[in-house]
Chain A
Amino acid sequence: QSALTQPASVSGSPGQSITISCTGTSSDVGGYKYVSWYQQHPGKAPKLMIYDVSNRPSGVSNRFSGSKSGNTASLTISGLQAEDEADYYCSSYTSSSTLVFGGGTKLTVL
């Protein structure tokens, strides 16, 4: 299985909105609602930010939102804050009943 495709880096200024894309195929992202997004700060374990394409776990800021169109899922962060600077990974269930991650995107808050 091939890793999902994410941009290597994105950046934005405080208060702005950014969107990170995650592109797969009809056998993973496009075929199921099971897309998740994770935030990872340096030296820390990843944290679940979005599940089932667009749902937020309890405690996650509503500045984080998710969506999907075709084979591409997206994570949008609005009202960018310095603390949002981190690496972000998407993941998806696959038709083989396995899990695949994206390559990761480094978010820089300018």
Chain B
Amino acid sequence: QVQLQESGPGLVKPSETLSLTCTVSGYSISSGYYWGWIRQPPGKGLEWIGSVFHSGSTYYNPSLKSRVTISVDTSKNQFSLKLSSVTAADTAVYYCARDQSIIMVVGPRYWGQGTLVTVSS
């Protein structure tokens, strides 16, 4: 069974960079699928941030693209999210997920439990 676990600071200061890591168990990232990040501000809906393939190929939400970097470390079976120049609007629960498709980004199949990141001084 594929399991994902987010980790990283729960509090980030405005203008700094938010960094999260997702550790995958039960499946090797090197075997395929897209691996992504989704966020959900308190009381609001889901927003797709972006996804990465094991080769390092990425797709990003156009509205966040200038601030987002998603990378993969196959040796640790992890992938990571960096979001720069954060503001209070970036406060959200951040989920990592594995996609349904092995060849394209069509929607998450397996989700992590989520981690709340608050942007505040």
Contacts and interface: CB of A to CB of B under 8 A. Distances in A.
A45 B114 contact: yes
B62 A1 contact: yes
Contact of A48 (B36, B95, B109): B109
Contacts of A102: 45
A66 interface: no
A36 B113 CA distance: 19
B62 A98 contact: yes
The bracket for how many chain B residues form the interface is 20 to 34
Contacts of B45: 3, 89, 101-104
B104 A97 contact: yes
Interface in A73-110: 89, 91-93, 96-104
Interface of A: 1, 3, 34, 36, 38, 45-48, 51-52, 57, 89, 91-93, 96-104
A99 B100 contact: no
Interface in B21-62: 36, 38, 45-48, 51, 59-62
B46 A46 contact: yes
Contact of A45 (B60, B61, B100, B112): B112
30 contacts: A1-B61, A34-B104, A34-B106, A36-B100, A38-B108, A45-B95, A45-B112, A45-B114, A46-B46, A46-B95, A46-B108, A46-B111, A48-B108, A48-B109, A51-B107, A52-B106, A89-B45, A89-B46, A91-B48, A93-B106, A96-B62, A97-B104, A98-B61, A99-B36, A99-B105, A100-B48, A101-B38, A101-B45, A102-B45, A104-B46
